[in-house]
Amino acid sequence: MLILVRHGESTGNAAGLLLGRMDAPLTERGLTQARTLGPSVAGASRIISSPLSRARDTAEALGTGLPVEIDDRWVEVDYGELDGRPLGAVPSEVWARWRKDPDFRPPGGETLSETGVRVRAACEELFATEGEGARGPGPVVVVSHVSPIKAAACWALGLGDEGAWRLYLATASLTRVTWGADGPVLSRFNETPWSAPA
């Protein structure tokens, strides 16, 4: 099984910023969220993380004791000149173009299609090594960001990158992809155990 973990709340998330490659640390709430996810990934055989600190710190806070492997393919989309801007300050015509065209590139940034290519390659590699009869002793956990996890969900569902706009993903959420006989199966999406009532 592949368990995709979105990092806990960061200072940029709390401030309502469009957060790509800007390295914003976890808030106290985000750190608590990450620690709460620990039991949900117990028994993991590997932990892979985006290189950004909010993902790495979430991976460490899961408390598995496993070494955190860094894979740059799981880094957040590059928003270029828009990175770090308040969400409400991004012009409506930019949002409209993004939603209509996965090849739209913000100035100095990356397209959703390019994000999809690198994430799909990472997923295919994990499927080849961890799935199809090569299952390890436990799930593989990847700690990443909203756009790469949505891209991975689209990969599992056989959708194009434009499908990401129809998905909502909370901070510190879990998404599970199982290894089916004929390919990946999205078994759960956007689980948030930290918000469940006691």
* Residue 131: predicted pLDDT: 59
Positive/negative CA dihedral, 128, 132, 136, 141: positive
Confidence band (pLDDT; 50, 70, 90) for 195? low
Q: Is residue 50 part of a domain?
A: yes
CA proximity to 164, closest of 175, 176, 179, 148:
148
Q: How far apart are CA 96 and CA 104, in angstroms?
A: 10
Residue 157: give its domain's CATH number: 3.40.50.1240
Positive/negative CA dihedral, 136, 142, 148, 154: positive
Q: Is residue 162 part of a domain?
A: yes
Catalytic residue IDs: 7, 76
Summarize pLDDT for 57-81 with one digit per residue, the tens. Answer: 999 999 999 999 999 999 999 999 9
Q: Is residue 7 part of a domain?
A: yes
Confidence band (pLDDT; 50, 70, 90) for 196? very low
Cβ contacts of residue 153 below 8 Å, gap of 6+? 4, 163, 164, 167, 175, 177, 186, 189
Q: Is residue 111 part of a domain?
A: yes
Q: Which domain holds residue 143?
A: 2-191
Q: Is residue 156 part of a domain?
A: yes
Residue 51 pLDDT > 60: yes
Positive/negative CA dihedral, 130, 135, 141, 145: positive
Strand partners, 141: 3, 47
Q: How far apart are CA 47 and CA 66, in angstroms?
A: 7
Q: Is residue 139 part of a domain?
A: yes
Other CB atoms within 10 Å distance of the CB of residue 133: 6
Q: Is residue 198 part of a domain?
A: no
Query: Domains in the chain: how many in total?
Result: 1
CA proximity to 8, closest of 176, 183, 19, 119:
19
